[in-house]
Chains A and B, each alone.
Chain A
Amino acid sequence: MVVWGLWPEYLVINLETIQGWNWAKSPISREKQKVVVMRNKSFARRGSALIAGAAAFAIVLGGVAPAQAATTITWLTDGGPENTKINSAVVAAFQKANPGIKVTVRIRPAGTAADTLVKTKLATGNMEDVFTYNSGALLSAINPTKTLVDLSKESFWSNVYASYKPAVSVNGKQYGSPWGTASGGAMYYNIGVLEKAGVNPAAIKTWSQFISAAKKVKASGVDAMCGAFAASSSWTSQVLLLADHHNVEKDTPGFAAKLTANKVKYAVDGAGLSTWNKLEETAKLGLYNKDAATTSYDEVKQRMGNGKCGFYPMVTWFTNDVPAELRANVGLIAVPGAKSADYGITTWMPNANYIPAKSKHIAEAKKFVAFLTTKKATDARVKASAYTGPFVTKDQSPAPASAPLATKQLATLLKGKTTPAAEFLSPVKGPNLANITAQVLTGQISAEEGAALYDRDNVAQAKQLGLKGW
């Protein structure tokens, strides 16, 4: 407003002093020009009055308001109905414990859109004071040593299991505080559908047993597996492969480490190729819903709950995504491998909250991310939404007796054989994995072709990260 009031007069004065300005030849008549000049001058007067008023007001404010006004920090995090409940609950708990700090929640999209947003915001220095982002492989791609605040020496680590540290570590320093619960890469099933098809999920311990179970479901007239490969949900098409990593590591020990060192390829390693073969097999047998290529993740939440398909490979955050009234209809098993003796689950570490180095409120932001690892925060989270699995903090909220079946099954699996997902063991994760798996799952290319394409994609990623040996 003030600026608006001032600049017209500045402009008018300049016009009058321009040498080449020919008043007589101007398409605006002299009378109108005068009016314009006059009006602008009156604007200017009003503008100066506004400035004076605003200045006086500011002085009054400054004199009256004490210096202890609350600091507001911003937090960029996940959206969606459940997350919204969780976000406001933990923020309320934090503000109660720290009356001097206010937190404003901002929502960001998921998937590749999140990668783009986070990278752009960090590169341009526009990142919020705290932001939620993946732990594991994606972390090294945002250049933490330069863009993030080092949290290694914070006191909250005494309450966090050491097994979490590698997930947020780059060059031996930790940059994130855990946010959320540990998850597993599971094969969900609909209890009713399997009963009707005469399948006992507890007996599925090998991949071939799984395939025959899926065939039985298909024969019973229900889609054996749910697939959601639509544009907005293409990330889901890679889950079966990622969740199979436990089996890959069982067959070729140290697979991910060898991948980082460029000593193994998916297309040439037996275990690596067998995981791609699983994708091809499910596609060739026609186990997926026929509209899988245009189905979204949101639709699968309903379909699994309603028994529109038998199995669905997904990370266990899915339990809480199934509508509450349908949650009791689903259970889960691990993605089985070749031998029943190796039966175990691939685990995902919780996401993390990070503080950008350019934040103007680092002290307050540190208080906030530390608070999110306390029992107060985990309790608030469970109370606001649901218990979704174990936290990685030592004083964590226990599982309530009312927890859904899938959550209890996850807890049992986590006590058995586990392997961290590949993205927590290696920074090499080609960016096109989701699309390549979608190609295999929609029958456009074979498992061998998919594995070879992904190997090439990994080369691009490793080169961009400047890894040795590529």
Chain B
Amino acid sequence: MAKKTNSPLAKARLRSYPVWFTIPLGLTFVVLFLVPTISSFYYSTQLWTLFDTTFVGLDNYMMFFTDPFMLGGLTNTFVYAFLTSGLKVVLAMGLGVLLMNNVKFRGLIRNIIFFPVLVSTIGIGITFQMLMKPDIGYLDTVLGFLGFPEEGLLGSPATALLAVAAVDIWKGLGIATVIYLGGMAAIPQEYYEAAKMDGVTGWQNFWHIILPLLRPATNTVIVLSLIGGLRSFDLIWSMTGGGPGFASDVLASLIYKNYSAGFFGLSTAGNVVMTLLILCLIMPLNRFLTKREVQL
């Protein structure tokens, strides 16, 4: 019997579920993700019309990088990603700490914060487009008193991207807060009790117990929201379409415009660049962040 269980085959036989169970998901992954990803490297080197392809080498990449709107789009992408990611971390952590305590209307506040997560992004985009409309939008009326541009937040090239980023933060806060609440629930009570014995203040409690032990949650929020911000498209497209002009264009919207112009090879090259960019940014960041995590 002992001999039997030691062989790898027997070990496999003892597993509750056979490896076959992974086939449906594995197949989906290969067909819908792996094959398109690999073939995109091929198509990015082609002049690709609807039915035929001509090899053009790295011309598409050259064209993508020399696009006059490329630099602005790249800058906007980083501004958008780091701004939304950073503010989501700070705000969601604050809300998480607040909601762990026994504040009044805790359930209600939790629901209000989580609600935007349930609404479709396009729906949110159209709603805020109306709210920020000059003369008739409520939000714009309020902001108008504070001296914001009279052509509206979305109509001014200076504020259009920031206005979309603000809506993105509002929309993504729910998920980030839930991650923090989960992280806080995982901190054992003993730490607080021990600290209480030592007579720490609320601020010390936060700074020396909650913050370090929340690092896994913080890392998750940072990585998820940064990836989301770097490839964000739907909200920007529904609120400004990259405009006015190109003022709020990001990488994804530039790529989409190339695609809808029929430049399929060029837009594929753009997507390859974006994938590599996100990989090069997130992988080292992830490694750096996990290194600093502490064991509970």
With A231-B239, A464-B47 in contact, is A453–B156 under 8 Å at CB?
Answer: no
For residue A39, CB closer than 8 A to chain B, the reply is no
Q: Count B interface residues, CB 8 Å.
A: 49
For the complex, give the distance between the alpha carbons of A369 and B18 in Å: 58
Cβ B260 vs Cβ A113 within 8 A:
yes
Q: B265's closest neighbor in chain A, by CB? A: A464
Cβ A141 vs Cβ B51 within 8 A:
no
Cβ B244 vs Cβ A444 within 8 A:
yes
Q: A145's closest neighbor in chain B, by CB? A: B51
Cβ A431 vs Cβ B12 within 8 A:
no
Q: A146's closest neighbor in chain B, by CB? A: B51
Cβ B260 vs Cβ A294 within 8 A:
no
Contacts of B244 in A (CB 8 A): 229, 293, 438-439, 442, 444
Q: Shortest CB–CB separation between residue B57 and chain A, in angstroms?
A: 13
For the complex, give the distance between the alpha carbons of A116 and B255 in Å: 13
For the complex, give the distance between the alpha carbons of A22 and B12 in Å: 10
Complex interface residues of chain A between 418 and 440 (CB less than 8 A to chain B): 431-432, 435-436, 438-439
Interface of A is mostly: helix
Cβ B157 vs Cβ A119 within 8 A:
no
Cβ B68 vs Cβ A294 within 8 A:
no
Cβ A20 vs Cβ B50 within 8 A:
no
Contacts of B134 in A (CB 8 A): 290-291, 294
Complex interface residues of chain A between 219 and 234 (CB less than 8 A to chain B): 229-232, 234
Q: In the complex, how many residue pairs between chain A and chain B have their CB atoms under 8 Å apart?
A: 135
Q: B19's closest neighbor in chain A, by CB? A: A20
Q: A459's closest neighbor in chain B, by CB? A: B63
For the complex, give the distance between the alpha carbons of A463 and B261 in Å: 13
Contacts of A21 in B (CB 8 A): 18
For residue B20, CB closer than 8 A to chain A, the reply is yes
Residue in A294, A444, A466 whose CB lies within 8 Å of B132: A294
Cβ B18 vs Cβ A231 within 8 A:
no
For residue B242, CB closer than 8 A to chain A, the reply is yes
Complex interface residues of chain B between 208 and 246 (CB less than 8 A to chain A): 237-246
For the complex, give the distance between the alpha carbons of A234 and B260 in Å: 15
Cβ B16 vs Cβ A147 within 8 A:
no
For the complex, give the distance between the alpha carbons of A463 and B262 in Å: 12
With A19-B13, A147-B50 in contact, is A435–B68 under 8 Å at CB?
Answer: no
Residue in B50, B52, B150, B245 whose CB lies within 8 Å of A119: B50
For the complex, give the distance between the alpha carbons of A395 and B228 in Å: 58
Q: Shortest CB–CB separation between residue B38 and chain A, in angstroms?
A: 20
Contacts of A142 in B (CB 8 A): 50, 262
Complex interface residues of chain B between 247 and 280 (CB less than 8 A to chain A): 247, 257-263, 266
Residue in A143, A291, A294, A466 whose CB lies within 8 Å of B50: A143
With A293-B154, A439-B245 in contact, is A22–B50 under 8 Å at CB?
Answer: no
Which residues of B come within 8 Å of A, CB atoms? 12-16, 18-20, 47, 49-52, 54, 63, 67-69, 129, 132-135, 150-152, 154-157, 237-247, 257-263, 266
Q: List 14 A-B contacts (CB under 8 A).
A: A20-B13, A22-B15, A115-B260, A231-B237, A234-B241, A291-B133, A291-B155, A292-B155, A293-B151, A438-B244, A439-B246, A445-B245, A460-B63, A460-B67
